[in-house]
Chain A
Amino acid sequence: MKKNNSFDQSPDRSKYPENGPDNKPDIDLSSGKYSKVWQGPNHPGVTGNMSLELTLCGDEIVDAKTHVGYLHRGFEKLFERRLYMQVMPTCLRMCVPESDTNEYCFAEAVEELSGIEAPEKAKWLRMLVLEMSRLQMLLRVVPGQGGAFGLGIGVQWGMYVRELVLDLFEELTGGRVYHMYMLPGGVRGDLPEGFRERAQSVMDEVFRFAERIDNVMFTNSVFKKRAIGTGYIDPSWVDQYGIVGPNARAAGYKRDIRKDHPYLRYDQLDWEVPVLENSDVFTRSRIRWMDMQVTASLIGQILEKMPEKGSFKAPTPNALNWRIPKGETYVKAEASRGEFGYYVVSDGSAYPRRIMLRGPSYTHAIALLERLLIRANIADVGAIMVSLQTCPPEIER
């Protein structure tokens, strides 16, 4: 079933461009053989605002170039003019759909640099929010894979369940999408009364949803026909391209920061990292489907094991004059897309000297995507992007 992505083993080279002296395809647009199509920056088949410059031969892509820069807000520069506490409500905008990983990495980095440790309760609450955040992201992206092929029903179901998770967020953090919950020193609120029961009933809904989506998507001949073999990632590319998260796990790499370098209290939770072989659109989607259920069960475990009492915020200095000791650190966490990290440098002042984000989309959506799109059918472009779970806001900081 594997599609061939390598030029050298192409069965019929007659309709494809020859390689030029630089070993890159030599495309002569005036020959009439090729056409150039721009997909994006505003296109329903592109996640977020980025643009793909596609050269087609018929409906097959022979050359692809990604263009970013349509969403550049200069966050990393803005941070240099923000107090540390003011970075908190800004940093989460770097990735809209999964904002909490930003909050966590930043808060943890500041704590590490200033030598403050968040209280035990805060660590569990942070873990809870991170998992809830992963869950709502997966509730979008798992059925979204079907949506990219025109299977809309899963998306509608997923959105409903996701709204239930957002309700939980609203109860706990005071916000639905931008939670602004974890700040250096801890979190901004304890579990509301009755939260455990309500969260558990939402998790039950998640499991029911997982079963239904299994029926309409993964046991669906149309979906299988489109997804299997499309956008294949060779396991040898994983380290070459810096592929992380579900995209790597679908290719047989059992990598998860939560297990490999446990942070917060992940070492006290009991779960298995899902891993599959043969990373194509189908497998990657399947891995996320498995992740979704693992996450729902983790949330159950967290609510069960979380300490009942305790402070949720360590005392921190005046937010208006909080100077962080000189130093630098890199804090990483496993987002739903893979390794997500913040590199924070402090020069000892009240303003960060440099904050840099390492997001998985940078490698996935630029270098890897350019490679995956070659020989793909133009109708599969959107699906391949979704299957990499790219997030352009996170590429452009």
Chain B
Amino acid sequence: MSKLKDILTPFTAWNNLARDPVTVKDPVNDRPGSARYRGFHQNDIEKCIGCGACESICETGAIRMVPVEGVETKEGDSGLRPEVDYGRCCWCALCVDICSTGSLTMSNEYIWVDEDPEAFTFVPGIDPKPWDKEEKGWKKPEPDYELNIKERVSMPQREAEEREDSFIEIVKGYSREQAIAEADRCIDCGICQATCPAHMDIPDYIRAVREENLEEGFRIMYKTNPLPEVCGRICTHKCEDVCAMGHRGDPIAIRWLKRYIADSVSQENYQQALQQENPQDKDKRVAIIGAGPTGLSAAYYLALMGYTIKIFESQPRAGGMMRYGIPEYRLPYDALDMDIDYILSLGVDIQYNTRVGADVTLDELHENYDSVLIGTGLHAGKSTRIPGTDHKDVHQAIKLLREFSKGNEIPLARRIVIIGGGNVAMDITRTLARLQNQKYGEVHIITTSLETEDVMPADQEEIDEAREEKVTLRPGWGPQKIEIENDQIKGLHVQRCLSVFDENGRFSPKFDEEDQAFFEGDMVVEAIGQGMDISFLSKKVREGLDFTQRGRLMVNDWFQSKQEWLFMGGDIIQGPDVIHGIANGHKAARGIDMYLRGDLRYDEGRNK
């Protein structure tokens, strides 16, 4: 029976004669790929920033970043776009998963036939393809799927209670583990480097943190920035604004990593870490006016080239705005001194308490030195010029900060109104808040600005921390008049500010006259910006200079003025911030070197 069954049973296959065929008979109409199919690449060119994470993760080397027509290199965009080689691609879609902006996706297309073998190497989004608009296909699975960590390692900080009545540094700095974890998040795209005014080699020093080769990192930093302790604390970090990681998460804490490297090399080891050889002395002398970031940076690089440097500084200590503008809780003086001391140790001579124009003239410097660099910065406070600003209890923030840094006593009322929305306004606000806390045990400060909070120029962390320190912020109000009664300030009349800039981006505030308010206070501080003081330029020198239509000084790419022996940089030219000053100083140093070797004429460098 069993044998007979074995012979007959296979014939049950004939049952299938009655079934429909299971294969698709229609060769013309495609069956669409599934909604998740990893088909051919698409790229949203507008969204893509050319960071190259796709190129880095591609395990077959199928992706190459190439320049393409119609995409310009700009801040935050390398100008490159991924080109995919389908002779190498394995369609793993890791490129899509790691894409910083989410611009790279895949369509669900199955088939692509082309006679030209070259066509299979193409730039998605640039070379038009039939699947460019296809909605379906592999996209990065949302929301919790990431091949990186979105959140930055949070920086340990002193709590508000601990800091509100003291000038102790707020930010504590990363530990080794924290720094490495943060450095690990970097995708090494280099977009930060292009954006940094000093073009610091950021990916490389972050790699040094990762590889725990901190002296190497220190050397890398000093190649473009001789003030890393300072920049590691108070840099305006343009780099972080464009960081590729910032598109989907927090940008890398580049500034804190820089600080970590700078802090980890002790001052005695600077010489050894930097491995600098003594340069051959050149018989040329350069005078630098102002020992701020520009002057110090230029002095450092010129000293390394072997020039004899003399800095003329009007204040009793070096540092300029870094010392006299920025409060100690943000930038402790000993950190600043570490940077400055090393620069001075290279043989840079500095003459304190010497104001050019009063104690020594620029013409004398011209006579005695081969070249002069001006890096005086912006130390003249601007006034709102509203009625009442000539009262004795109306002060300039920048002046108060300077006096306080020198150790002098500054006026301190019980109730203070501060006008300004920038970082200087925050600095004076928080400095006065600390002093009020120390003296009166309470804070009564109202800080008001034209800009609403979303467009306030101050850093968000400054704003948040000021609030934590119990300061009242009233953004979006325009000052109208200071109310004075019996020669006593009573407060500030303000009205609602509707917009600050006109459609051309010019400063032209518009107010709502209906919406008025009054901020009570016994003292008013203005912190609405600073101007430059170039009264020390003699008429003869001034006539030989170029000015822009708006009255700004004009220099060429090497910060050389039309008076070819005279260079200028820093806040009076660009910025205002520390990193521009450092970058200008570095470039001016190279310009001065070229000029002194007879290789640089004013017209050769493009005007800026």
Chain B residues lying within 8 Å of A312, measured Cβ to Cβ, are: 141, 144-145
Instruction: Give a binary string over A318-333; 1 marks a CB under 8 Å from any B CB, 0 the rest.
Output: 1111110000000000
Query: In the complex, A323→B209 CA distance in Å?
Result: 14
Asked if A95 is an interface residue, CB under 8 A from chain B, the answer is no
**Chain A 203-242 near chain B by CB (<8 Å), digits 1 or 0:** 0000000001001100111001000000000000000000
Q: Does B410 contact A (CB under 8 A)?
A: no
* B307 within 8 Å of A (CB atoms): no
Given contacts A153-B13, A174-B38, A220-B6, contact A160 B187 (CB under 8 A): no
- Of the candidates B22, B37, B59, B184, which one forms a contact with A86 in the assembled complex, judged by CB atoms under 8 Å apart? B59
Q: Is the CB of A318 within 8 A of B185?
A: yes
Residues from chain B with Cβ under 8 Å of A323 in the complex: 184
Query: A175–B91 contact, CB under 8 A?
Result: yes
The stretch of A58-66, A185-193, A278-286, A388-396 that contacts the partner chain: A185-193
CB distance from A1 to the nearest CB of B (A): 14
> Nearest chain-B residue to A211 (Cβ)?
B12
- What's the dominant secondary structure at chain B's contact region? loop
Interface centre among B5, B59, B185 (most CB of A within 10 A): B59
With A89-B90, A153-B13, A188-B145 as known contacts, state yes or no: A319 contacts B185, CB within 8 Å: no
* Given known A220-B6, A315-B146, A315-B149, contact A171–B34 (CB-CB < 8 A): yes
Q: A174 contacts B187, CB within 8 Å?
A: no
Q: Is the CB of A319 within 8 A of B147?
A: yes
Nearest-neighbor residue (CB-CB) of B143 within chain A: A311
Residues of chain B from 165 to 208 with CB closer than 8 A to chain A in the complex: 181, 183-188
Closest A residue to B210 by beta carbon equals A321
**Are B6's CB and A313's CB within 8 A?**
no
A150 close to chain B: CB less than 8 A: no
Q: Tell yes or no: A88 within 8 A of B by CB.
A: yes
Interface residue range, chain B? 35 or more
Q: Which residues of B contact A224 (CB under 8 A)?
A: 6
Contact between chains at A317 and B33 (CB < 8 Å): no
Q: Does A170 contact B (CB under 8 A)?
A: yes
Residues of A within 8 A of B183 (CB): 321
Q: How far is the CA of A83 from the CA of B187 in the complex (A)?
A: 13
CA distance A27 to B324 in the complex (A): 98
Q: In the complex, A212 Cα to B5 Cα: how many Å?
A: 14
B residues less than 8 Å from A216 (CB atoms): 9-10, 12-13
Q: Is the CB of B37 within 8 A of A170?
A: yes
Bound complex: CA A296 to CA B506 (Å)? 71
Q: Known contacts being A86-B94, A319-B98, A320-B53, is A170 close to B148, with CB within 8 Å?
A: no
Say yes or no: is B7 at the interface (Cβ < 8 Å to chain A).
yes
Bound-state CA distance A86–B62 (Å) is 13
Contact with B36, one of A83, A89, A173, A322 (Cβ below 8 angstroms): A173
Do residues B36 and A192 form an inter-chain contact, with CB atoms below 8 A?
yes
Which DSSP category, helix, strand, loop or mixed, fits chain A's interface?
loop
Contact B6 A188 (CB under 8 A): no
Instruction: A93 to B185: give the CA distance in the assembly, Å.
Output: 29
- The answer to whether residues A219 and B90 also contact, given A174-B38, A319-B57 and a CB cut-off of 8 A, is no
How far is it, in angstroms, between the C-alpha of A232 and the C-alpha of B185 when the chains are bound? 57
A318 in contact with B36 (CB, 8 Å): no
- Whether the Cβ atoms of B144 and A311 lie closer than 8 Å is yes
User: Do the beta carbons of A180 and B92 come within 8 Å of each other?
Assistant: yes
Task: Name B42-97 residues within 8 Å CB distance of A.
Answer: 53, 56-57, 59, 90-94, 97
Q: How far is the CA of A392 from the CA of B203 in the complex (A)?
A: 44
How far, in whole Å, are A322 and B98 apart by their CA atoms in the complex? 13
A90 within 8 A of B: yes
User: Contact flags (1/0) for A81-117 with B, using CB distance below 8 Å?
Assistant: 0110111111000000000000000000000000000
B548 at the interface (CB under 8 A from A): no
Q: Which residues of B contact A85 (CB under 8 A)?
A: 57, 94, 147
Q: Is the CB of B138 within 8 A of A174?
A: yes
Query: Footprint of B on A, CB under 8 Å?
Result: 82-83, 85-90, 153, 160, 167, 170-175, 178, 180, 188-190, 192, 212, 215-216, 219-221, 224, 311-313, 315-323
Q: A219-B10, A317-B181 are in contact. List 5 more A-B contacts (CB 8 A).
A: A89-B92, A216-B13, A220-B10, A221-B6, A318-B147
27 contacts between A and B (CB under 8 A): A83-B59, A85-B147, A86-B57, A86-B59, A89-B90, A89-B94, A160-B23, A170-B37, A174-B38, A175-B38, A178-B91, A180-B93, A188-B141, A212-B13, A215-B12, A216-B9, A219-B5, A219-B10, A220-B10, A221-B7, A313-B144, A317-B148, A317-B149, A318-B185, A319-B147, A320-B187, A321-B185
